[in-house]
Amino acid sequence: MHELSVCMELIDQVEAIARSHDAERVDTIVLRIGSLSGVEPGLLESAFEMARLGTVAEHARLRTERIEPRIRCRACGLEAEAGPSDLRCPACFGTDTALITGDEMILARVELLQAAD
């Protein structure tokens, strides 16, 4: 259950962004979570309920976009979707593939509310 540690870093980053934009509060946070990142979006959302208390993100909504693994085969050049526990090339079954996407853990977007002038 390391989602709480991840959330603490998330809150730190969001607070810094909110501060630098003079935001009153945070409305929405959008994350991109790869299914090979080691983080479960569901657990992250539960941890976020706790981590946001008393912060500028206290009333924020958390949206997670799950990113499935995609690979590029170094042997035949094919790019394709892959399963988390089978990253072989689906065409030539080669194991020499590079993961293109699917292991990321990224803060992609923050929507802030500011008092209008």
Partner 1 sequence: MCDTCGCNITDGNRHLLRADGSHRKLTAVSVLNKLLQHNDAQAEANRALFDRHGVLVINLMSSPGSGKTSLLEATIKALDGALRIAVIEGDLETENDAARIRALGVEAHQITTGTACHLDAHLVAKVLPKLDLENIDVLFIENVGNLVCPASFDLGHHLNLTLLSVTEGDDKPAKYPVMFRAADAMLISKTDLLAVLDEFSPERAEACLRKLASNAQVLRVSSKTGEGMREWLDWLNRRLEHYRNLRRENRSLSPAVQSEGRRLHGLARPDVRFKPETA
**What are the residues binding partner 1 (CB under 8 A)?**
1-2, 5-6, 9-10, 12-13, 17, 20-21, 23-24, 27-28, 31, 36-39, 61, 71, 84-88, 95-101, 103-116
Least Å distance between CB 91 and partner 1? 14
> Is 73 annotated as contributing to ligand binding?
yes
Q: Which is nearer to partner 1, 78 or 113 (CB)?
A: 113
Residue tagged 């539960």 (tokens) = 46
Q: Is 7 annotated as a binding residue?
A: no
All residues at 6 or more sequence positions from 46 whose CB lies less than 8 Å from its CB, including other chains:
3
Residue 53 Cβ vs partner 1, minimum distance, rounded to whole Å: 18
Determine if residue 21 is labeled as part of a ligand binding site.
no
Closest CB to partner 1 among residues 16, 53: 16
Distance CA 104, CA 95 (A): 21
Q: Would residue 103 be called left, alpha or beta, if left means φ above 0 and alpha means ψ between -120 and 50 degrees? A: alpha
Nearer to partner 1, 66 or 109 (CB): 109
Q: Which of 31, 96, 37 is nearest to 68 (CA)?
A: 37
- The torsion defined by the Cα of 88, 92, 96 and 99, in degrees rounded to 10, comes to -50
**Numbered residues of the known binding site:** 2, 73, 76, 89, 92
